[in-house]
Chain A
Amino acid sequence: MGMPSFPKAAHDAVGDTTLRANLRHATHTIRDKRARAVAELDDWAALREAGKRIKDETLRRLDTYLVRLEAAVTAAGGTVHWAADAAEANRIVAALVRATGETEVVKVKSMATQEIRLNEHLEAEGIAAYETDLAELIVQLGEDRPSHILVPAIHRNRGEIRDIFKEKMGSWGRPAPEGLSDTPAELAEAARLHLREKFLRAKVGISGANFMVAETGTLVVVESEGNGRMCLTLPETLISVVGIEKVVPTWRDLEVFLQTLPRSSTAERMNPYTSMWTGTADEDGPRAFHLVLLDNGRTDALADEVGRQALRCIRCSACLNVCPVYERAGGHAYGSVYPGPIGAILTPQLRGTSSEIDASLPYASSLCGACYEVCPVAIDIPEVLVHLRERVAEEGGSGHRLEKAAIKAASWILDRPNVLAAGERLASATRKVHPKRLPGPGARQWSDHRDLPELPAEPFRDWWRKNRS
């Protein structure tokens, strides 16, 4: 894909003060609200543990649950398709749309379809795919990329959004109203008017799903705006593209996730709308329902005994909102539809670590652990990051040989206290002439992005000996 590595992309993002202000405001707002929503449930720890175990059980017997799901969906009047990779999924969806004779589709926000770049593929096939989530609409009209799992236009402020609507809505359908202001209410109203004509005429809807229940064949979509309900119920044909890890074994399992997901993601007791459907229903909703089960690297992640826990993810995005690295670098720096801490472990597993960006992602973290604390399915993101760093290091690359050499040198010195003390004194004595950046390959990149600590006038151990012993 030719994406720049994380440090390079993050460097530009960190210099963008508007972006940093937008992100800081948004992530701090939501993390504070989330803490309050979670505090309402005094059994949060038990819900978190149950969610973790349900997902682990699902992954352990994923084949059984997928086959069970397929049988239940089929029995309820749906058709199940399997796609090993993005190309296969795109082919299946395009063929299904073409079979309807339609050349436009309305879409519910879906990470899976972003991951496989479905919109671009459909466009190449002459099919227009309209994003209908407000944030996705902002991203699509702005010819931009999403930067957050839950609120993909989090990097845009209201003024930027107004400008995008005024400039671009007209070329996609109903133009923005005259004299559109930048209040969120007016912007939402403009989106309502713009999209309603598309909803009413739509014959094909495309969605993902938050959960699929193996036992019953039920698919679940949680959302807020009602655009999801429009796409799921008004068209004649519904196509849902869903990652194979989104299955849960039983109907009852939803009682856990419907408590933890809304509170973790939008910090609400419950999101405004949740739709559940099982195959097709007489007289209610689409007459044809197709489920496309997507692998696209998930079985690679499943094969990694440490990394497979990333597949527990329910895409709440709580980890993004607490991450100090995400807050400063923004979602685009991660070069993937999955940004933030979860993206840093999920993307290199789904895509492998051969490209520059994917090899850099496990390092896009300070390992502070806040992401693990807030994760409603207890994914130990720091553990997986360290594990993936090992993998990248084993695969080689000049930076990592240097790192190994540095660590070797450090352990030699740390094993010899006298050498260390002499070095410290020398460093203190010469501190006036120290450069602001480290020289040399590898080291210079490090200090390009960090201020070097100032050395004290005397080593701590000398000070201790003088003053305390």
Chain B
Amino acid sequence: MTDAVSARERILARVRAAVANAPEAPAVARDYRTSHTADDPAAVLGLLHENLADYRAHVHRTAPADLAALVAERLAERGARSIAVPPGLPEAWLAATDAVRRPDEPRLTPYELDGVDAVVTGCALAIAETGTIVLDGGPGQGRRALTLVPDLHVCVVLAPEQVVASVPLALPRLDPGRPLTWISGPSATSDIELDRVEGVHGPRTLEVILVTGD
């Protein structure tokens, strides 16, 4: 690949020549806000709920004891008879559903995933100000394709420990070495006359369950 090496050197030399006489750039001022929200877990959770719903996610709240029943109800309501199960998903979350489980071990092929009705996952964290849940492939979340191909995604968020107010508070808690997926509402497009339509290629339905209290 001698060509590639020489292109590299050519480009770097051109960059260096281009900015050789440029003044130093002023230091980056970070006097923007770390958060736009009061430091109150209830307010932050309320905002998360509101913003998720604003972008057409279906949001529910429950106590840990009632989570399994709610997961089962949401799956049944949407007619989901089979579910992809990421490694490490707490078995208790699925205790009340009779949907067929399709564990992702060994990895399901894209065609197999396409034949599954739903996926249930946890998350790495959720961002209130933008109405975003973030997945990092950790236990109970699985690889990225699992939450992409099935048409229904049921995501469990543990509050308050997995909820942050803002993007600047989210990034330090994420590991860039892992594949990350930020999800703000279901798949959507605005490509036709800028009318927002939910549901193109990703899951058309996003159900978010906020688990609060003991």
On A, residues with C-beta under 8 Å from B are: 22, 25-26, 29-30, 40-43, 46-47, 49-50, 53-54, 56-57, 59-63, 66-67, 76, 81-84, 88, 92, 132-135, 138, 151, 153-154, 157-158, 161, 184-185, 187-189, 191-192, 195-196, 199-201, 213, 216, 218, 224-227, 229-230, 232-234, 244, 251-252, 254-256, 258-259, 262, 266, 268-278, 281, 283-285, 293, 295, 299-300, 302-303, 305, 308
A259 to B7, CA, bound (A): 35
Nearest chain A CB to B195 CB, angstrom units: 5
Interface pair B182/A273, CB less than 8 Å apart: yes
Nearest chain B CB to A202 CB, angstrom units: 8
* 5 smallest beta-carbon distances between A and B, as pairs: A226-B202, A226-B201, A270-B130, A284-B143, A299-B14
Chain B contacts for A41, CB-based, 8 A? 33, 36
From known contacts A50-B32, A259-B167, A281-B179, infer whether A225 and B19 are also in contact, taking CB-CB under 8 Å: no
Interface pair B22/A60, CB less than 8 Å apart: yes
Chain B: interface residue total (CB-CB under 8 A): 72
Contact partner of B184 among A185, A191, A271, CB < 8 A?
A271
A158 to B191, CA, bound (A): 10
Nearest chain B CB to A175 CB, angstrom units: 18
Interface pair A153/B191, CB less than 8 Å apart: yes
Interface pairs (22), CB distance under 8 Å? A41-B33, A46-B33, A60-B25, A61-B19, A66-B12, A66-B15, A82-B8, A134-B189, A189-B199, A229-B181, A234-B149, A258-B167, A262-B130, A269-B131, A270-B130, A270-B132, A271-B184, A273-B183, A273-B202, A277-B180, A278-B177, A299-B18
Chain B contacts for A229, CB-based, 8 A? 144, 148, 181, 201-202
A60 to B19, CA, bound (A): 6
| B71-79, B93-101, B106-114 - the one binding chain A | B106-114
Interface pair A305/B145, CB less than 8 Å apart: no
Contact partner of B4 among A26, A82, A256, A269, CB < 8 A?
A82
Answer yes or no: B192 CB below 8 A from chain A CBs: yes
Answer yes or no: B187 CB below 8 A from chain A CBs: yes
Chain B contacts for A255, CB-based, 8 A? 167-168, 171
Contact partner of B192 among A161, A196, A276, A285, CB < 8 A?
A161
Interface pair A25/B110, CB less than 8 Å apart: no
Interface pair B179/A192, CB less than 8 Å apart: no
Interface pair A53/B36, CB less than 8 Å apart: no
Interface string of B1-16 (1 = CB under 8 A from A): 0011001101110111
Q: Chain B: which residue is nearest A65 at the CB level? A: B15
Interface pair B143/A283, CB less than 8 Å apart: yes
* Chain A interface SS verdict (over half): helix
Q: Chain B: which residue is nearest A281 at the CB level? A: B179
Chain B contacts for A225, CB-based, 8 A? 187-189, 191, 200-202
Q: Chain B: which residue is nearest A47 at the CB level? A: B32
User: Which of B27, B28, B143, B192 has the most chain A CB atoms closer than 10 A to its own CB?
Assistant: B192
Answer yes or no: B140 CB below 8 A from chain A CBs: no
Contact partner of B179 among A138, A184, A224, A277, CB < 8 A?
A277
A459 to B177, CA, bound (A): 72
Contact partner of B193 among A53, A184, A234, A299, CB < 8 A?
A184
Nearest chain B CB to A84 CB, angstrom units: 5
Nearest chain A CB to B113 CB, angstrom units: 9
Interface pair A252/B171, CB less than 8 Å apart: yes
From known contacts A46-B31, A225-B188, infer whether A188 and B183 are also in contact, taking CB-CB under 8 Å: no
A25 to B28, CA, bound (A): 38
Interface pair B199/A57, CB less than 8 Å apart: no
From known contacts A184-B195, A252-B171, infer whether A272 and B201 are also in contact, taking CB-CB under 8 Å: no
Having A50-B30, A226-B202, one finds 6 other A-B pairs with CB under 8 Å, namely A61-B19, A67-B12, A153-B191, A270-B131, A276-B176, A308-B22
A199 to B107, CA, bound (A): 17
A41 to B32, CA, bound (A): 10
Interface pair A196/B25, CB less than 8 Å apart: no
Chain B contacts for A158, CB-based, 8 A? 192-193
A272 to B186, CA, bound (A): 7
From known contacts A268-B184, A295-B11, infer whether A224 and B190 are also in contact, taking CB-CB under 8 Å: yes
Interface pair A50/B181, CB less than 8 Å apart: no
Chain A contacts for B14, CB-based, 8 A? 295, 299, 302-303
A234 to B109, CA, bound (A): 9
Chain B contacts for A226, CB-based, 8 A? 148, 187, 200-203
Interface pair B177/A76, CB less than 8 Å apart: yes
From known contacts A151-B191, A188-B189, A224-B190, infer whether A256 and B32 are also in contact, taking CB-CB under 8 Å: yes
Interface pair A134/B26, CB less than 8 Å apart: no
User: Which of A154, A270, A303 has the most chain B CB atoms closer than 10 A to its own CB?
Assistant: A270
A436 to B199, CA, bound (A): 54
A457 to B173, CA, bound (A): 72
Contact partner of B187 among A56, A82, A88, A224, CB < 8 A?
A224
Contact partner of B137 among A26, A270, A284, CB < 8 A?
A284
Chain A contacts for B197, CB-based, 8 A? 184-185, 188
A369 to B101, CA, bound (A): 58
Chain A contacts for B19, CB-based, 8 A? 59-62, 302-303
User: From residue 115 to 154 of chain B, which have CB atoms closer than 8 A to chain A?
Assistant: 127, 129-132, 137, 143-145, 148-149
Interface pair A43/B137, CB less than 8 Å apart: no
A226 to B189, CA, bound (A): 9
Answer yes or no: B92 CB below 8 A from chain A CBs: no
Interface pair A230/B11, CB less than 8 Å apart: no
Chain A contacts for B183, CB-based, 8 A? 272-273
Interface pair A234/B7, CB less than 8 Å apart: no
From known contacts A59-B19, A251-B171, A275-B180, infer whether A49 and B29 are also in contact, taking CB-CB under 8 Å: yes
Chain A contacts for B187, CB-based, 8 A? 224-226, 272-273
Answer yes or no: B24 CB below 8 A from chain A CBs: yes
Contact partner of B17 among A26, A133, A199, A303, CB < 8 A?
A303
A92 to B5, CA, bound (A): 13
User: Which of B130, B191, B194 has the most chain A CB atoms closer than 10 A to its own CB?
Assistant: B191
From known contacts A134-B200, A225-B202, A283-B107, infer whether A157 and B171 are also in contact, taking CB-CB under 8 Å: no
Interface pair A195/B193, CB less than 8 Å apart: no
Chain A contacts for B114, CB-based, 8 A? 196, 200
Interface pair B200/A302, CB less than 8 Å apart: no
